[in-house]
Amino acid sequence: MTSTTTSGSSPRLYGGWRRSRTLGVAHLNGVQTVICVGAVMVPVFLASFVGLATLLVSLPIAALVGGLAVWQRHGMPLLSLATARVRWKLAASRGETTYRGLYLRHPLALNPPGVLAPTMLVSAQDETGAAVGLVWNQATGRFAGSLLLAPGGALLADRGQVNTNVTSWGETLAALSSEESVEAATVTLQVTPSSGAALTDHVRDRLDRNAPKLARDTIGELVTTAPRTSAQLAAWLTLVVDPSRAPDRATTPAEGAAEALRRLGSVDLGGAGADVLRRATATDLMRLVRGAFSPADMDAPQSQIAELTWDQTGPVAAEEDWTEYRHDGAVSVSWVLREAPRKSVTYDVLLPLLAPGKYPRRITLGYRVLPTEEAAAIVEREINASDAREQYNRRTRRSTTRRERADAQAADRAANQEAYGAGMTQWTITITTTVTDPADLPAAKREVEQAAKRAGGLRFRYAYGAQGASFTAGLPVGVHPLVG
């Protein structure tokens, strides 16, 4: 990402995002090019060695495969979409999209559903002796630790301070690239509608009757004129740590947990406009996970949450459809980022998505900060791919489109910035909305889609065939869309 400052009082703009593109012919990527070449060569090969009669079968199949590889829908090749659909159908036929915790045989009954199955909740202590909860993925060996945040609002903040906060957040991400064991990070903001009565109750319980009359009248006027509907905002940052990549290569779960605690303690958000409330405890993690699957349990008493085991934080029953996810009497729909803004945007580009609405919403930004060596290799590959496309256009006398020229300029700019020490980050956004009444689902979907249209050029699509995984990616459990 790059930032530019315009003259006068104009706000600073941010941009420079681009989709990674591999070497390919014209506007095709590497995979599409290989498929198209194969679709051309296979019929020729069969006709040469088997007979011309094979063309009656091979040519239609080749045309179909080539067309599916070239044509796109929802920002992805039709072949990829069709392949995902077939795989999802096969999984559904085997019962892999259905979860019934009460009827699973032991020991599977003690596992959460889906991608959470190999995870285990670990209770640890940091250097101060405070309790910290970590989620250990026994299949990959990774640990996930979370910081509970209190984000500061930017609407009334000075523009210079907001720009400083954005710069500080970029420096925080860049610092993660030097941490060898940190693989990825996510920032999640959960917006839950609530009644304005909560504000009235909060003020009434804390109002000092001996305070000056002017102060009491001012507070009373603010409460009276406040909107009758408000929202509860919960935010957390989750680090995904791979202890095997640490310099001392942790080999035991205890050493892995210690490495995750060290990396979690090294995150500095002081200048990024967010206050760290505390490191999430095991009870905090269980509340967030259980509250996501069963919204009615989000405000359950602390003692009730503490009595749960990790498998009980998941749903009692869940059903994953192509574009929906049903769990414990609620229905969720998730979207994933399809395209980043092509233009430069201001710092408040995500504000429409974060603004309170009628239905609960969870927005997750996933980051994968690339190590220096990998970032250099990627920008070099991107430059080579851009040069190859330019040479292809020149040889075929094909005019270069404005979008191709803009993409080439973005690749050059990224390479120059990386050469001078800038970090490179892969990122994505996941949005999830949840309703307890299926009749409200169409309205909740429209609310998210309308907010996304106002979000400065961001484009989203349904998480086709991956609703369960996308739902879980917004939870503090270490499931990251950019990490395998």
pLDDT above 70: residue 75: yes
pLDDT of residue 169: 87
Q: Which of 24-38, 74-88, 151-165, 467-481 has the highest mean pLDDT?
A: 467-481
Task: Tell me the whole-structure pTM to 2 decimals.
Answer: 0.83
What is the 3 state secondary structure string of 274-298? Answer: EEEEEECCHHHHHHHHHHHHCHHHC
DSSP bridge pairs for 151: 274
Which SS3 state, helix, strand or coil, does residue 182 take? Answer: strand
pLDDT of residue 476: 94
pLDDT of residue 7: 45
Which residue reads 């991400």 in tokens? 173
**Who's near 219: CB < 8 A, 6+ residues apart?**
203, 207
Name the residue with higher pLDDT: 6 or 394. 394
d(CA 92, CA 120): 26
pLDDT above 70: residue 6: no
Domain ranges of the chain: 102-370+423-473
Angle, helix 55-70 to helix 78-93, in steps of 10 degrees = 100
pLDDT of residue 197: 61
pLDDT above 90: residue 22: no
pLDDT above 70: residue 47: yes
- pLDDT (tens digit per residue) in 401-459: 777 777 777 777 777 777 766 777 889 999 999 999 999 999 999 999 999 999 888 99
Name the residue with higher pLDDT: 6 or 471. 471
pLDDT of residue 132: 94
Alpha carbon dihedral 36, 38, 41, 42, in 10-degree steps, equals: -130
Tell which residue, 177, 166, 167, 169, has the closest CA to residue 421: 177
DSSP bridge pairs for 2: 15
- Tell me the residue length of the chain: 484
DSSP bridge pairs for 362: 190, 432
pLDDT of residue 230: 65
How many helices (H) and strands (E) the chain has is answered by 14, 17
pLDDT of residue 8: 44
d(CA 216, CA 214): 5
> If pLDDT is split at 50, 70 and 90, which confidence band does 157 have?
low
Tell which residue, 76, 44, 5, has the closest CA to residue 465: 76
- pLDDT (tens digit per residue) in 226-273: 655 567 889 999 999 999 888 787 778 888 999 999 999 888 887 887
Give percent above pLDDT 90 in the chain. Answer: 29
pLDDT of residue 68: 79
Give percent above pLDDT 70 in the chain. Answer: 88
Token reading at 99: 């979860």
> If pLDDT is split at 50, 70 and 90, which confidence band does 90 have?
very high
pLDDT of residue 41: 85
Supply φ then ψ for residue 282, to 5 degrees. Answer: -60, -40
